[in-house]
Amino acid sequence: MLLPIGPAHGEWGTLATTLPTSPSCVGTSTHDRAKLLREEELASWAVRDHPDSAAAWHALACVRANLELAGGIGREGPVMTAGDAWNFGAIKAAVRAIRIDARSPASELLGWLALEERPDDVEEEVLVALRHAVEAGSSSPNLLTGCAQVALERGDGALSRRCLRLGLASGHDSTFHLLRLARLAYREGDTHSGYDAFLLAAETLDSPRDREEIGWHLQWFMSPTELAAWIKLPVKDARAWVRDHLASRDIRDGRAPGTRLQEHFGRLEYVLTHFRLRLPRVAWKAGGIVGATPETGGGEEPDAVRQTCEPGTIPARPYRFYSRWQGAIDDRGVIWMRFGAPDERVAVAPQCPQGGPPSPNLREAWVYRLDGNQMLLQFENERFDGSAEATRLVTGVLGSYLCGIDAWRCGLTMRSASGAAPLPQEQLQRVIVSDAELVKIGTTKDDNSVRGAKPIRVVADLRRLWEPRSGLPISLVTWAARLDDVASESEGTSRTAAITVTVRRWARATGEWHDTTLDRRLTLPDTASGKRFLTGAFVLPGVEDATAWSVVLEQSDRRSGRAWDDEVTPQGGGALAVSDLVLGSPRQGLRWDAGPETIPLAPLGTVNRSAPATLFYQVRSDRAMSGTTTRISIYRDQKQGASRKPVLQVSSGSSFSAGLNPVLREIDFGRLDQGRHRIEIEILAPNGRVLLTRSAPLVLE
């Protein structure tokens, strides 16, 4: 089932979804195909009569390019075989013109035509012709863009760089050229130049096509919500927006600045080599394939997976759960671009245990282990994709190859294969729903974190406060790690663990990045204590208006874990300001010396409802204030704005002196249910106007 959709686009390699302006001889002629065929016949006779005329070959190339736009299959003619696409005939004619005269205007057409074709379909003679034209001094925008892209895809970095620099000097298509300079720089290991070129490309947006060029790259790792924001973003904010989102991802992943963009281009090179789609030309010119026919030609009875000797031989449903937004890379490449190499990859041709020929229904299972969780994605081969491998994401499939990967799916597979009774439909539906959710995660989220040999489950928090004595901003960091995840060694009568703690912070408004690394050797709690966590807390100099942070724990045997928040609300300033909220649980045994007071902390990230709990915050005022009201509200949903009906609310009169005012309250959560909540404080003026608000997540157990 081959169902092409969408408009024809040249989105191959790193090309965006639109092309540069067409040459002057394309699109200005008639779209009457019969008339164009007569013109092509006359142009063909002209090159036969004048085979050494560059102008004649250029004219033939132009009319063939217009015939491509008019549609239809090519016919036999000079340097063209019957059945070829008209574009191929136009390219060969343009190459011949440049071979005769390197300064021929055919170079403009050739550069444009080359961008419309897949890199695999662009022959070496095209690159040679483009090089000759550039060396002869030709410098049309289409020539330079085509030269830059074809040379980049062909691995000729020197020629690509020359054309890119000429293109930038001309002032045309700056975003196009800068993005390819970035890719070239990353390919050659020059990460600083690559990063600078990418950000400069965001700064030079001059048209919707420029925005699409950068959006093509962003779409490989950003969420649908982020992309929607990018589309509406004012041009003046583009550079700062891109810089912030890249930095926030590096913070989240616990990586050095610039790592996510470097990884993006590294993954792109790998994917274009190993997972490039090779659809029939009619399909990719039309934008891709909607339907999907399994290689077996089946797929009409996917429920047969409920009872069969080997469920892996039953093809998945023929329609795509995941619809590709591009036609250059198969579904495996989509996942690789977002998550990198899987931790485990299984490729099989399932067959029944009783023997017989292997099934033509090929499968691949990819397993990612992220922060202690597992993401399983499955692929199946299909017709018309130009590949003999499993390229399509599928849902609702089982197979014995899953044993050793996923215990639940393995059990369902064995039940189906036993033949005792069909697998209940509701069980299969659970598989479909679970697979669909994993596919959604795999195609809308991303990850570039360090994946150690063994994950450390980490809970951490970073709270922005002021140092009680000096009033300078500080960051209070708390963390907790599961004891059974931590490697330890005997030291006398106790056990100790060497842990490296790295804190990264990013401030969007100022563009400031801060890294702090601490090496700690900690004594583990005695096993008789019943404690299950190793905890810690420390104070760092503050980063004003930090909008993202992460805490990474690492050990020398490649154990690591992280916690992060990349959606921190800027703290703000002004005449009246409030710190972050610090929840405390005295029974967790960790405290912070805040000058005259000792503040209980809750490093486990939860508060027991039956135990005493505290809430600490600071209010900074430039003058004395009286008659205000402090309102504390607790909401059932953790998301801000998700629910405005509190499950608990307490108000009391308050007053503040000029300077820093610490507030420590005891709170009883005993009447609330277990689960996720949100605690919020509001300070109200005497007339009831809300002066400021601060909230924090609250997890009750």
Cα 146 to Cα 164: distance, rounded to the nearest angstrom: 10
**DSSP helix/strand/coil, 303:** helix
Q: Residue 291 pLDDT more than 70? A: no
Cα 422 to Cα 676: distance, rounded to the nearest angstrom: 40
- Going 166 to 168 to 172 to 174, the CA torsion angle's sign is positive
Position with higher pLDDT, 583 vs 352: 583
Residue range(s) occupied by CATH 2.70.50.60 in the chain: 573-701
Task: Indicate the angle between helix axes 259-274 and 174-187, nearest 10 degrees.
Answer: 90
Lookup: tokens for 649:
């609310």
pLDDT at residue number 21: 66
Q: Residue 251 pLDDT more than 90? A: yes
Residue range(s) occupied by CATH 2.60.40 in the chain: 452-572
Mean pLDDT of 202-210: 91
Mean pLDDT of 164-176: 95
pLDDT at residue number 286: 62
Task: Name 476's bridge partners.
Answer: 463, 539
Q: Cα-Cα-Cα-Cα dihedral of 388, 392, 396, 398, to 10°?
A: 30
pLDDT at residue number 225: 96
Residue 516 CA: distances (Å) to CA of 9, 15, 32, 456, 470:
47, 39, 68, 20, 21
Lowest mean pLDDT among 230-244, 376-390, 402-416: 376-390
Q: Residue 7 pLDDT more than 50? A: no
Cα 484 to Cα 573: distance, rounded to the nearest angstrom: 43
Residue range(s) occupied by CATH 1.25.40 in the chain: 14-172
Position with higher pLDDT, 252 vs 301: 252
Q: Residue 386 pLDDT more than 90? A: no
**What would the pLDDT profile of 387-434 be if each residue is shown by its tens digit?**
779 999 999 999 999 999 999 999 999 999 988 788 899 999 999 999
Query: Taking Cα atoms as reference points, which of 611, 588, 606 lies closest to residue 697?
Result: 606
pLDDT band for 300, please (50, 70, 90 cuts).
low
Q: Residue 67 pLDDT more than 60? A: yes
**What would the pLDDT profile of 505-527 be if each residue is shown by its tens digit?**
999 999 999 999 999 999 998 87
Q: Sort 414 into a burial class: Cβ within 10 Å, 0-12 / 13-18 / 19+.
A: middle
Lookup: tokens for 274:
């190993």
Mean pLDDT of 205-231: 94
Task: Please state whether the predicted TM-score (pTM) of the whole model is above 0.75.
Answer: yes
Q: Cα-Cα-Cα-Cα dihedral of 408, 414, 420, 424, to 10°?
A: 30
Q: Residue 13 pLDDT more than 50? A: no
Cβ partners under 8 Å of residue 357, min gap 6: 351
HSE on the CB side for 250, CA within 13 Å? 23
Q: What percent of the chain has pLDDT over 90?
A: 74
- Going 682 to 537 to 513 to 451, the CA torsion angle's sign is negative
**DSSP helix/strand/coil, 173:** coil
What is the CATH code for 14-172? 1.25.40
Lowest mean pLDDT among 150-154, 181-185, 294-298, 473-477: 294-298
Specify the CATH architecture of the domain 452-572. Sandwich (2.60)
Q: Residue 16 pLDDT more than 50? A: no
Contact by Cβ (8 Å): 175, 201: yes
* Separate counts of helices (H) and strands (E) for the chain: 17, 23
Q: Residue 8 pLDDT more than 50? A: no
Q: Residue 294 pLDDT more than 80? A: no
Amino acid at 186: Y
pLDDT at residue number 5: 31
Count other Cβ atoms within 10 Å, centred on residue 677: 23
Cα 579 to Cα 537: distance, rounded to the nearest angstrom: 18
Lookup: tokens for 443:
């195609």
pLDDT at residue number 153: 94
Q: What percent of the chain has pLDDT over 70?
A: 92
Query: Taking Cα atoms as reference points, which of 192, 180, 337 lies closest to residue 270?
Result: 337
pLDDT at residue number 383: 75
Amino acid at 259: T
Mean pLDDT, the chain, rounded, equals 90
Cα 298 to Cα 673: distance, rounded to the nearest angstrom: 51
pLDDT at residue number 388: 79
Backbone angles phi and psi of 123, in degrees to 5? -80, 165
pLDDT at residue number 351: 87
pLDDT at residue number 134: 98
Residue 367 CA: distances (Å) to CA of 56, 65, 341, 412:
58, 46, 9, 18
Count other Cβ atoms within 10 Å, centred on residue 109: 30
Cα 387 to Cα 383: distance, rounded to the nearest angstrom: 8
Lowest mean pLDDT among 44-53, 233-242, 370-379, 564-573: 564-573
Contact by Cβ (8 Å): 659, 620: yes
Cβ partners under 8 Å of residue 633, min gap 6: 646, 648, 649, 679, 680, 681, 682
Pick one of 2.30.33.40, 1.10.645.10, 2.40.50.140, 2.70.50.60 as the CATH number of 573-701.
2.70.50.60
Backbone angles phi and psi of 384, in degrees to 5? 70, 10
Cα 617 to Cα 466: distance, rounded to the nearest angstrom: 10
**DSSP helix/strand/coil, 178:** helix
pLDDT at residue number 452: 81
**What would the pLDDT profile of 621-678 be if each residue is shown by its tens digit?**
999 999 999 999 999 875 655 557 899 999 999 999 999 999 999 999 999 999 999 9
Contact by Cβ (8 Å): 391, 292: no
